[in-house]
């Protein structure tokens, strides 16, 4: 097991810079998930750690040793490919034994290791099959087995369950979590699926356009997004982001949505953190922090529902306030029909403000 | 039954106007081929099988006499014939092995990103496209003891490549290797480029060295298509005639096909040579069958 560190890593493919100033320290035994849209550089970063891609600049260290110029074979890391990459002409047993045979481990020792891993992954009955006779989930189990069998310094996974169907993904997600708990191996996992990221990660690394956006525990990136991109990328349904105008009022701050005169009432402290200039700031608020009520109450703004998405356990309701539109999460069937008048209040503790130009989150000084 | 799978004739077509049906047109296309096959392939095959049980000589008017299996018995007991088989076997093994080594090696070299890969591949394929007789005549000149470029380049003086009884067969095999390695190369290249890149990445991650990767990943995955190349080249080498006939006339270069030619058209032993041809046919079929069995086994994985 090992600590992995990336310092000032840059990567160019021709004129395109796919990794920009990447700095990241992965602690020993940590489960890191790299999250981002396709083409954001997350897979390239993973492949650079593995040694399947060279970096243009910067250093990569594993346990303090610089490895950026070493071949993948000399870095002692394991890699699980999205396409599984099982050797088609070998049985499951031979596939798992391959990395051990490649370094010349004795037959008895090899056999013991392979069977132990197969037992952990529950694929012992499949050992004599060929990969073509396996289901997608079993193929992935074998691929993970092949990665784990030689006890690598780190386990890198490139969207390992992206090719599976939804139900199997859920199952494999739990399995990967269980394996990580049991083996406590340093793991880096790449995915574009935020549910996978949230459920697996010790820390999530969010990337966009080759730039690291935020590193943090799942609840941290969810509750305290560093910028607009993270705010809108993490969480489903997507966070509401609306341009707002602030005004001071005797008892505190008022946050006005476009075309709304009254404004939501916030604590006075907000005024020191968020500029009052017109058009500079956006309010970000998750649908679950938008509360709807059928009766008027103090501080609530009147609005009209425009769309209802019933999702079984809850509904997502679109509400128009002035010219702005907010989405709220309500109990199932709370709003009977579109066009109904409702009263909207916000959970001000969960509101975020972003600078429209830089996209950075604006926070009150603590 | 056949009508149901055929495309129906367009009712507005000229063929329909002439009153032809789909069936008529199908027959028009198929009957010439069938007739050709029967007249030039199947009939001679059966006719020569008949001759192989007689003492028929095409050079005389004497009627053919049925002599049963005597031709076969004589041929299989003839030690000179067995020498022809030994020579042929030696030739096939050297020639095919050489082609596989050179052809596969070239394919390995070409299976990477190199500049002008297409041009190089095309140039390497040229020998294969020449006529056997032309290749034979040219290599005779190249091998020439007094002015041939090979002796000049290798500094061998007046070494007699084709007149030396021990060397002549290998000299012919070298020419065959030069000519047909591109064929093995072409098929190997197809096989090599079909090996997914990510398997090499997986092997690299699994810490496999270059040799281990080659013998455990590359070779097993290319083997099925390489086997097809080997089957083709073995069959071709087995029946080599023109190259050997043009280049040398040593007793040590008398391949089966040359012996067969002499028996049939110089000695005019038509019946006996028919029997000989059948023995060769059975052998080629048997050897091919061994390969095909192995190929199927390889393909199962």
The residue out of A233, A250, A270 marking a domain boundary is A233
**Same domain membership, residue A301 and residue A218:** no
Nearest to B68 by CA among B86, B90, B46, B52: B52
Nearest to B201 among A52, A99, A146 (CB): A52
Name chain B contacts of A145, Cβ cutoff 8 Å: none
- Residue B267 lies in domain: 70-299
- Residue A276 lies in domain: 240-362
**Same domain membership, residue B84 and residue B11:** no
Give how far the C-alpha of residue A135 lies from the chain's centroid of Cα atoms, to the nearest Å: 27
**Same domain membership, residue A185 and residue A322:** no
What is the C-alpha to C-alpha distance for residues A158 and A176, in angstroms, rounded to an integer?
13
Question: Are A289 and A346 within 8 A, CB to CB?
Answer: yes
pLDDT tens per residue, range B105-139:
999 999 988 899 999 999 999 999 999 999 999 99
Does residue B64 fall inside a structural domain?
no
**Same domain membership, residue B139 and residue B9:** no
**Same domain membership, residue A333 and residue A196:** no
**Same domain membership, residue A264 and residue A182:** no
Angle between helix B79-110 and helix B168-193 axes, rounded to 10 deg: 40
**Same domain membership, residue B89 and residue B45:** no
Local structure of B171: helix, strand or coil: helix
B198–A85 CB contact, under 8 Å: yes
Say which residues have a Cβ less than 8 Å from residue B190's Cβ, sequence separation at least 6: B225
Does residue B57 fall inside a structural domain?
no
Tokens of B224: 């099925």
Say which residues have a Cβ less than 8 Å from residue A207's Cβ, sequence separation at least 6: A34, A35, A36, A40, A41, A42, A45, A213
Question: How many domains, chain A?
Answer: 2
Write down the pLDDT at residue A207.
Answer: 94
Name chain A contacts of B217, Cβ cutoff 8 Å: 87
Q: Which parts of chain B have pLDDT scores under 50?
A: 1-4
Name chain A contacts of B196, Cβ cutoff 8 Å: 83, 85
Long-range contact set of residues B269-272: C-beta below 8 Å, sequence gap at least 24: B269/B57, B270/B51, B270/B56, B270/B57, B270/B58, B271/B51, B271/B52, B271/B53, B271/B54, B271/B55, B271/B56, B271/B57, B271/B64, B271/B67, B271/B71, B272/B52, B272/B55, B272/B71, B272/B74, B272/B75
What is the C-alpha to C-alpha distance for residues A355 and A274, in angstroms, rounded to an integer?
8
Does residue B47 fall inside a structural domain?
yes
Tokens of B26: 């199908």
**Same domain membership, residue B162 and residue B129:** yes
**Same domain membership, residue A134 and residue A196:** yes
**Same domain membership, residue B82 and residue B191:** yes
pLDDT band at A366 (very low <50, low <70, confident <90, very high): very low
- Is the pLDDT at A17 greater than 60, yes or no? yes
Does residue B208 fall inside a structural domain?
yes
CATH number at residue A277: 2.40.50.140
Q: State the pairing for strand pair A352-355/A281-285.
A: antiparallel
**Same domain membership, residue A172 and residue A316:** no
CA distances from B57 to A275, B50, B77 (A): 114, 13, 21
Q: State the pairing for strand pair A77-80/A154-158.
A: parallel
Q: Does the ipTM surpass 0.90?
A: no
**Same domain membership, residue A151 and residue A98:** yes
**Same domain membership, residue B36 and residue B153:** no
Write down the pLDDT at residue A170.
Answer: 87
Q: Assess A146–B contact: CB distance below 8 Å, yes or no.
A: yes
Does residue B142 fall inside a structural domain?
yes
Question: Are B142 and B148 within 8 A, CB to CB?
Answer: yes
Nearest to B204 among A71, A76, A146 (CB): A71
Question: Which residues of B fall below an 8 Å CB-CB distance to A?
Answer: 196, 198-199, 201-209, 212, 216-217, 220-221, 301
Closest residue on chain B to A86 (Cα): B199
Question: Are A346 and A265 within 8 A, CB to CB?
Answer: no
pLDDT tens per residue, range A206-242:
999 999 999 999 999 999 999 999 999 998 889 999 8
Degrees to nearest 5, angle at CA B226 with B224 and B228? 75
Question: Nearest CA to CA, how far is B204 from chain A (Å)?
Answer: 5
**Cβ-based burial of B301 (10 A; exposed 0-12, middle 13-18, buried ≥19):** middle
Question: Are A103 and A140 within 8 A, CB to CB?
Answer: no
Nearest to A148 by CA among A96, A112, A111, A74: A96
CATH number at residue B285: 1.10.3720.10
CATH number at residue A193: 3.40.50.300
Write down the pLDDT at residue A143.
Answer: 93
**Same domain membership, residue A355 and residue A222:** no
What is the C-alpha to C-alpha distance for residues B270 and B165, in angstroms, rounded to an integer?
29
pLDDT (mean) for A354-365: 82
pLDDT (mean) for A58-69: 92
Say which residues have a Cβ less than 8 Å from residue B234's Cβ, sequence separation at least 6: B92, B96, B287, B288, B291
Mutation target to probe the B interface, by most B beta carbons within 10 A, among A88, A144, A146 is A88
A88–B221 CB contact, under 8 Å: yes
**Same domain membership, residue B123 and residue B35:** no
Q: How many CB atoms lie within 10 A of CB A282?
A: 19
Scanning A104-243, the segments in alpha helix (DSSP H) are 107-121, 136-148, 166-183, 194-200, 218-223, 228-233
What helix, strand, coil percent values describe chain B, rounded to 5? 75, 0, 25
**Same domain membership, residue B90 and residue B236:** yes
Query: Which residue, chain included where needed, has tokens 């032309």?
Result: B134
Q: What percent of chain A has pLDDT over 90?
A: 53
**Same domain membership, residue B260 and residue B130:** yes
pLDDT tens per residue, range A302-348:
889 999 999 889 999 999 988 889 999 999 888 888 888 899 999 88
Question: Nearest CA to CA, how far is B202 from chain A (Å)?
Answer: 7
**Same domain membership, residue A226 and residue A255:** no
Nearest to A77 by CA among A140, A157, A131, A139: A157
Question: Nearest CA to CA, how far is B119 from chain A (Å)?
Answer: 26
pLDDT tens per residue, range A49-61:
999 999 999 999 9
pLDDT (mean) for A185-198: 91
Say which residues have a Cβ less than 8 Å from residue A197's Cβ, sequence separation at least 6: A33, A35, A191, A204, A218
The residue out of A205, A233, A261 marking a domain boundary is A233
**Cβ-based burial of B112 (10 A; exposed 0-12, middle 13-18, buried ≥19):** exposed
B206–A102 CB contact, under 8 Å: yes
pLDDT (mean) for A135-164: 89
Question: How many domains, chain B?
Answer: 2
The residue out of A233, A260, A294 marking a domain boundary is A233
**Same domain membership, residue A258 and residue A182:** no
Local structure of B120: helix, strand or coil: helix
**Same domain membership, residue A276 and residue A178:** no
CA distances from A158 to A65, A155, A272, B3, B199 (A): 23, 10, 44, 54, 15
Question: Are A9 and A119 within 8 A, CB to CB?
Answer: no
Tokens of B57: 């000589």
**Same domain membership, residue A97 and residue A56:** yes
Does residue B58 fall inside a structural domain?
no
**Same domain membership, residue B25 and residue B116:** no
**Same domain membership, residue B204 and residue B139:** yes
**Same domain membership, residue B151 and residue B44:** no
Q: A355: phi > 0 → left, psi -120 to 50 → alpha, else beta; which?
A: beta
């Amino acid at each position: 097991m090992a600590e992995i560190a990336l310092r000032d890593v840059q990567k160019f493919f021709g004129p395109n810079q796919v990794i920009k100033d990447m700095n990241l320290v992965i602690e020993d035994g940590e489960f890191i998930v790299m999250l981002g849209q396709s083409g954001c550089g997350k897979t390239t970063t993973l492949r650079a750690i593995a040694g399947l891609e060279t970096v243009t600049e910067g250093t990569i260290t594993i346990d303090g040793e610089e490895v950026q110029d070493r071949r993948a074979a000399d870095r002692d890391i394991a890699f699980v490919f999205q396409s599984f990459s099982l050797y088609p002409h070998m049985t499951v047993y031979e596939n798992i034994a391959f990395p051990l045979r490649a370094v010349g481990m004795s037959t008895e020792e090899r056999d013991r290791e392979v069977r132990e891993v197969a037992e952990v992954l529950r694929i012992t009955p499949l050992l004599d099959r060929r990969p073509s006779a396996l289901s997608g989930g079993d193929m992935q189990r074998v691929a993970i087995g092949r990665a784990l069998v030689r006890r690598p310094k780190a386990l890198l996974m490139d969207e390992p369950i992206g090719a599976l169907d939804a139900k199997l993904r859920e199952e494999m997600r739990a399995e990967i979590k269980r394996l990580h708990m049991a083996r406590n191996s340093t793991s880096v996992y790449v995915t574009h699926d935020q549910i996978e990221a949230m459920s697996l990660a010790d820390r999530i690394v969010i990337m966009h356009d080759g730039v690291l956006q935020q590193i943090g525990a799942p609840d941290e990136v969810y509750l305290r997004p560093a910028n607009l991109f993270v705010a809108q990328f993490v969480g489903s349904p997507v966070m509401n982001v609306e341009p707002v105008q602030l005004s001071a009022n005797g008892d505190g701050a008022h946050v006005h949505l476009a075309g709304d005169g009254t404004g939501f009432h916030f604590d006075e402290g907000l005024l020191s953190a968020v500029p009052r200039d017109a058009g500079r700031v956006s309010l970000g608020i998750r649908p679950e922090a938008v509360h709807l009520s059928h009766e008027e109450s103090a501080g609530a703004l009147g609005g009209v529902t425009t769309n209802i998405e019933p999702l079984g356990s809850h509904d997502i309701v679109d509400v128009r306030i002035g010219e702005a539109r907010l989405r709220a999460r309500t109990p199932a069937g709370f709003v009977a029909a579109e066009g109904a008048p409702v009263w909207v209040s916000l959970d001000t503790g969960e509101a975020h403000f972003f600078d429209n130009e830089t996209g950075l989150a604006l926070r009150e000084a603590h | 039954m056949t009508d149901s799978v055929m495309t129906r004739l367009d009712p507005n077509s000229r063929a329909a106007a002439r009153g032809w049906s789909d069936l008529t047109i199908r027959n028009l296309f198929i009957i010439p081929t069938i007739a050709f096959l029967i007249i030039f392939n199947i009939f001679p095959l059966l006719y020569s099988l008949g001759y192989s049980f007689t003492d028929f000589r095409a050079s005389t008017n004497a009627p053919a006499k049925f002599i049963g299996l005597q031709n076969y018995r004589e041929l299989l007991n003839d030690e000179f014939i067995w020498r022809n088989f030994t020579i042929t076997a030696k030739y096939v093994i050297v020639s095919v092995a050489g082609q596989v080594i050179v052809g596969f090696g070239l394919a390995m070299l070409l299976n990477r990103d190199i500049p002008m890969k297409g041009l190089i591949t095309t140039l390497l394929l040229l020998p294969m496209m020449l006529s056997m007789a032309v290749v034979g005549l040219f290599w005779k000149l190249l091998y020439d003891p007094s002015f041939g470029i090979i002796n000049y380049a290798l500094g061998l003086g007046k070494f007699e490549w084709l007149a030396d009884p021990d060397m002549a067969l290998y000299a012919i095999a070298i020419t065959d290797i030069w000519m047909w390695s591109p064929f093995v190369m072409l098929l190997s290249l197809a096989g090599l480029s079909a090996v997914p890149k990510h398997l090499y990445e997986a092997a690299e991650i699994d810490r496999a060295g270059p040799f281990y990767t080659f013998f455990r990943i590359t070779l097993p995955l290319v083997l099925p298509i390489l086997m097809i190349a080997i089957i083709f080249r073995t069959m071709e080498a087995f029946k080599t005639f023109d190259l050997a006939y043009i280049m040398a006339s040593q007793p040590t270069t008398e391949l089966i096909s040359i012996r067969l030619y002499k028996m049939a058209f110089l000695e005019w032993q038509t019946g006996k040579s028919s029997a000989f041809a059948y023995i060769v046919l059975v052998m080629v079929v048997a050897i091919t069958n061994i390969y095909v069995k192995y190929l199927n086994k390889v393909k199962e994985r």
